[in-house]
């Protein structure tokens, strides 16, 4: 499913049931090397560890690059939405 980029919280779809939850307040993202010697992105919050890997090379590698760029852009939008929640509302 292709998701568009909502600009307001009210435009977001309901979240699906999660298999894993990561607490962003204690999230530690870092780069590591897996057992095959390939780079991976590790997300750890103290309770749960998620490893994002790119799979095999070739066309799959380009798909992994594209997905990583999309993940980064979506995380930036999420940070912006959280900032909106945090900023005090001004009276007009």
What are 59-69's pLDDT values in tens digits?
Answer: 788 899 999 99
In angstroms, the CA 50 to CA 85 distance is 27
Q: Between residues 90 and 9, which one has the greater pLDDT? A: 9
Token match 């980029």: residue? 5
Closest Cα to residue 18, out of 50, 57, 60, 63?
Answer: 50
DSSP state for residue 13 in the 8-state scheme = P
* pLDDT given at position 51: 96
What pLDDT does residue 23 have?
95
Beta-carbon contacts of 23 under 8 Å, excluding residues fewer than 6 positions away, are 45, 46, 47
pTM for this predicted structure: 0.77
Q: Are 48 and 22 in contact (CB under 8 A)?
A: yes
Residue ranges of alpha helices (H) inside 1-92 are 59-86
């Amino acid at each position: 499913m292709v998701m568009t980029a909502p600009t307001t919280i009210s435009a977001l779809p309901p979240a699906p049931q999660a298999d894993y939850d990561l607490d962003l307040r204690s999230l530690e993202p870092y780069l590591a090397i897996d057992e095959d010697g390939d780079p991976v992105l590790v997300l750890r919050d103290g309770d749960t560890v998620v490893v994002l890997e790119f799979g095999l090379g070739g066309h799959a590698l380009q798909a992994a690059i594209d997905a990583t760029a999309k993940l980064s852009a979506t995380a930036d939008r999420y940070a912006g939405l959280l900032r909106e929640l945090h900023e005090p509302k001004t009276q007009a």
